[in-house]
């Protein structure tokens, strides 16, 4: 699912209006009817008081039009205009007139107005600001937003939570509405998926308002949300007459004294995601643990007892994943440097391999083209330097990806894969996956997919998706707290099955619910 920026949404608006020969008011009417149907389906006429807070732009216009539909269907409404500017958009005015024609007189709220009384079981519709927010709200509007939150009532935001900018962080965490639900027109917004702003969006849904599909199809976006539909075409089905050679021989390189577990996790993950053969390259201390923990894997040992000091092997791996538990000893740094001189094909660089690159910047030029770096935010900051907000973080990551011709996987909630100027936002996973070794497993998954012939970008996107899906399946059985890195490995098979399960027909869904 494409994620459009404000400029692209406005362009889609005007293209649609012109192509479909409709007025902007008719487009707003479509939007507000979609809002109404979504609410009506869930409320079924319930006598719950609905307080609408409308700004003076088109977001507010949506709110006024929604108020009209609600009132026409017998809902108890109270309309408040948050009068933060003397400007009024034409469609706002049109809908205000329609309310007045129905003898609905909105309260006009200014800086000195009393805050309306709202019960904890009431519903608040936040249509104060939409994607047109261009500066921080006035202090009195911020106070109003705080009061909305203090009511404890359910807050439904129209299009975006008011106060969030579409392209930058906000000045102060209090300057935006924390929405229980956001109804976004046509596509989700980037702010729904960023660590700093996701707190304002507990849940979201998209309402199709009939923007021109051709225009949307043709519009190139920087960001794309990756769900099952987008990821499924990446899957490479297995042929009947295949053998393990078809699925490559992966090499997992890492480990140091006390951190052999990371290599065990990556090696097991690499096998379970489908690599044909896997060899682990570890210091001497890793031989026994690996042979016991992963009998399916072969083991090569470095001459160093406790950490890797010289990487030598006569293997031609089809994919390499390096860095997990590696440590950053001086000899390990020179070993990795020499290894990168010889490594020409794309590989996975994670954990201490990334820390070594950050501490020895001249090694950055040795990253094989197309390689996949999998930092968590702290490791990313060591690579890129600090950032003022998530938007700058993404900008710097894209620049790094372009300059070093590599793919960056920013791990976390909504893991984001940056490949050049494009970013792919993963849409599964859960907080239970924030557990030791989860990243080691992801390295094993991506390396194992590379080993099976997936192109680097496909391996990164598919690996992240399978990792999240396995984590979600594990969480349904184990909950969040008990979920461990091994749980993710154990559920990878079910993740493949779930991914490949044909979509259920309507009757199958009904049968399942009745059963
Ligand atoms: N295709 C669609 O998605 C459609 C979206 N619709 C709705 O339109 C809004 C965007 O409307 P717009 O009028 O451009 O912006 P806002 O409603 O957010 O209005 C803000 C308004 O106020 C001015 N402004 C901005 N920041 C401030 C501030 N801090 N203080 C005072 N004034 C401010 C700004 O200049 C604007 O004029 C979108 O979100 C949807 O809800 C259409 O209804 C249908 C199609
Ligand atoms: K809003």
Q: 436 by DSSP, 3-state: which?
A: coil
Task: Check if the beta carbon of residue 232 is closer than 8 Å to that of residue 497.
Answer: no
Give the per-residue pLDDT at 90.
98
Q: Evaluate whether residue 490 is within a structural domain.
A: yes
| Per-residue pLDDT at 192 exceeds 70 | yes
Sign of the torsion angle spanned by Cα atoms 265, 266, 268, 269: positive
- Grade residue 461 by pLDDT with cuts at 50, 70 and 90: very high
Residue with tokens 């009209």: 68
Q: Evaluate whether residue 505 is within a structural domain.
A: no
Give the per-residue pLDDT at 515.
67
Whether residues 197 and 86 share a domain: the answer is yes
Distance between Cα 417 and ligand 2 center (Å): 29
Mean pLDDT of 21-36: 97
Average pLDDT, whole number, for the chain?
A: 96
Whether residues 278 and 407 share a domain: the answer is yes
Which residues have CB atoms below 5 A from the ion given as ligand 2? 59, 126, 157-158, 162
Range of the domain at 86: 2-221
Give this complex's ipTM: 0.96
Whether residues 277 and 205 share a domain: the answer is no
CATH of the domain at 256: 3.40.1190.20
Per residue in 135-178, pLDDT (tens digit) is 999 999 999 999 999 999 999 999 999 999 999 999 999 999 99
Pocket test for ligand 1, best of 134, 144, 166, 204 (most atoms within 8 A of CB): 134
| Per-residue pLDDT at 26 exceeds 90 | yes
- Grade residue 243 by pLDDT with cuts at 50, 70 and 90: confident
Whether residues 142 and 283 share a domain: the answer is no
Whether residues 162 and 268 share a domain: the answer is no
Q: For residue 262, say whether it is annotated as part of any ligand binding site.
A: yes
Whether residues 447 and 381 share a domain: the answer is yes
Which residue has its alpha carbon closest to ligand 1 atom 3? 185
Mean pLDDT of 251-256: 98
Task: Check if the beta carbon of residue 131 is closer than 8 Å to that of residue 167.
Answer: no
Distance between Cα 66 and ligand 2 center (Å): 13
Q: Evaluate whether residue 509 is within a structural domain.
A: no
Q: Evaluate whether residue 240 is within a structural domain.
A: no
Give the per-residue pLDDT at 217.
96
Per residue in 42-95, pLDDT (tens digit) is 999 999 999 999 999 999 999 999 999 999 999 999 999 999 999 999 999 999
| Per-residue pLDDT at 130 exceeds 70 | yes
Q: Evaluate whether residue 234 is within a structural domain.
A: no
Whether residues 319 and 466 share a domain: the answer is yes
Per residue in 341-354, pLDDT (tens digit) is 999 999 999 999 99
Q: Evaluate whether residue 257 is within a structural domain.
A: yes
Sheet holding 107-109, edge to edge: 107-109, 77-82, 50-54, 123-127, 154-158, 181-185, 204-207
Which atom of ligand 1 lies closest to the CA of 162?
18
Q: Evaluate whether residue 350 is within a structural domain.
A: yes
Q: For residue 14, say whether it is annotated as part of any ligand binding site.
A: no
Query: Residue 29: nearest ligand to its CA?
Result: 1
Enumerate residues 6+ apart whose C-beta is below 8 A from 417.
226, 407, 408, 409, 410, 423, 424, 426, 457, 460, 461, 464
**Is 130 near ligand 1, meaning CB less than 6 Å away?**
yes
Pocket test for ligand 1, best of 58, 67, 110 (most atoms within 8 A of CB): 58
Q: For residue 208, say whether it is annotated as part of any ligand binding site.
A: no
**Is 175 near ligand 1, meaning CB less than 6 Å away?**
no
Mean pLDDT of 268-291: 98
Alpha-carbon span 321 to 316, nearest angstrom: 14
Point out the domain boundary residue: 155, 187, 221: 221
Whether residues 199 and 274 share a domain: the answer is no
Give the per-residue pLDDT at 503.
76
Give the per-residue pLDDT at 507.
72
Point out the domain boundary residue: 221, 237, 265: 221
Q: Evaluate whether residue 237 is within a structural domain.
A: no
Q: 291 by DSSP, 3-state: which?
A: helix
Alpha-carbon span 356 to 425, nearest angstrom: 27
How many domains are contained in the chain? 2
Whether residues 331 and 411 share a domain: the answer is yes
- Grade residue 502 by pLDDT with cuts at 50, 70 and 90: confident
Enumerate residues 6+ apart whose C-beta is below 8 A from 462.
231, 234, 235, 449, 454
Whether residues 124 and 178 share a domain: the answer is yes
Task: Check if the beta carbon of residue 52 is closer than 8 Å to that of residue 79.
Answer: yes
Please provide residue 16's backbone torsions phi and psi, each rounded to the nearest 5 degrees: -65, -45
- Rg of the chain over Cα atoms, rounded to whole angstroms, equals 27
Q: For residue 159, say whether it is annotated as part of any ligand binding site.
A: yes
Q: 452 by DSSP, 3-state: which?
A: coil
Whether residues 316 and 412 share a domain: the answer is yes
**Is 61 near ligand 1, meaning CB less than 6 Å away?**
yes
**Is 86 near ligand 1, meaning CB less than 6 Å away?**
no
CATH of the domain at 194: 3.40.50.10260
Task: Check if the beta carbon of residue 287 is closer than 8 Å to that of residue 260.
Answer: no
Whether residues 194 and 78 share a domain: the answer is yes
**Most distant CA pair in the chain, distance:** 86
Whole-model pTM? Answer: 0.94
| Per-residue pLDDT at 478 exceeds 70 | yes
Per residue in 403-428, pLDDT (tens digit) is 999 999 999 999 999 999 999 999 99
| Per-residue pLDDT at 505 exceeds 80 | no
Q: For residue 130, say whether it is annotated as part of any ligand binding site.
A: no
Alpha-carbon span 418 to 33, nearest angstrom: 37
């Amino acid at each position: 699912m494409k994620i459009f920026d404000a400029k692209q949404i406005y362009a889609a608006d005007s293209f649609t209006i012109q192509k479909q020969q409709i007025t902007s008011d008719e487009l707003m009417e479509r939007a507000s009817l979609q809002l109404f149907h979504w609410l009506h389906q869930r409320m079924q006429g319930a006598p719950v008081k609905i307080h609408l807070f409308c700004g003076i732009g088109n977001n507010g216009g949506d709110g006024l039009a929604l108020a009209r539909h609600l009132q026409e269907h017998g809902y108890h409404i109270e309309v408040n205009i948050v009068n933060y500017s003397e400007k009024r958009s034409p469609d706002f005015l049109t809908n205000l007139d329609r309310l007045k024609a129905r003898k609905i007189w909105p309260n006009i709220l200014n800086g000195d107005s009393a805050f309306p009384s709202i019960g904890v079981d009431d519903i608040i519709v936040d249509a104060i600001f939409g994607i047109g927010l261009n500066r921080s709200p006035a202090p009195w509007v911020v106070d109003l937003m705080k009061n909305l939150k203090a009511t404890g009532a359910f807050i439904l935001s129209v299009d975006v939570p008011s106060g969030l900018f579409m392209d930058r962080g906000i000045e102060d965490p209090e300057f935006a509405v924390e929405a229980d639900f956001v109804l976004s027109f046509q596509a989700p917004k980037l702010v729904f998926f960023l660590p700093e702003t996701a707190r304002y969006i507990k849940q979201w849904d998209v309402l199709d308002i009939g923007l021109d599909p051709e225009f949307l199809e043709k519009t190139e976006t920087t960001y794309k949300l990756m769900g099952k539909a987008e990821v499924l075409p990446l899957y490479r089905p297995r042929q009947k007459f295949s053998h393990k050679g078809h699925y490559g021989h992966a090499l997992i390189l890492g480990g140091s004294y006390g951190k052999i577990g990371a290599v065990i996790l990556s090696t097991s993950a690499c096998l379970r995601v489908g690599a044909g053969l896997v060899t682990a390259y570890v210091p001497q201390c890793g031989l026994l643990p690996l042979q016991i923990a992963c009998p399916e894997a072969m083991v090569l040992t470095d001459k160093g007892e406790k950490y890797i000091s010289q990487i030598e092997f006569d293997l031609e791996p089809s994919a390499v994943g390096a860095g997990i538990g590696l440590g950053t000893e001086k000899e390990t740094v020179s070993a990795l440097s020499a290894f990168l001189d010889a490594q020409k094909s794309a590989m996975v660089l994670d954990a201490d391999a990334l820390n070594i690159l950050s501490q020895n910047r001249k090694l950055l030029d040795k990253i094989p083209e197309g390689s996949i770096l999998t930092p968590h935010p702290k490791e990313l900051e060591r690579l890129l330097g600090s950032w003022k907000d998530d938007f700058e973080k993404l900008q710097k990551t894209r620049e790094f990806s372009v300059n070093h011709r590599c793919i960056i996987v920013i791990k976390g909630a909504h893991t984001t894969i940056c490949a050049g100027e494009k970013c792919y936002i993963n849409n599964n996973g859960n907080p239970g996956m924030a557990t030791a070794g989860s990243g080691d497993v992801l390295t094993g998954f991506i390396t194992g997919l590379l080993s099976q012939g997936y192109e680097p970008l496909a391996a990164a996107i598919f690996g992240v998706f399978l990792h999240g899906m396995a984590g979600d399946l594990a969480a349904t059985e184990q909950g969040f707290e008990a979920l461990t890195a091994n749980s993710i490995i154990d559920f990878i098979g079910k993740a493949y099955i779930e991914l490949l399960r044909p979509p259920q027909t309507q009757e199958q869904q009904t049968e399942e619910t009745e059963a």
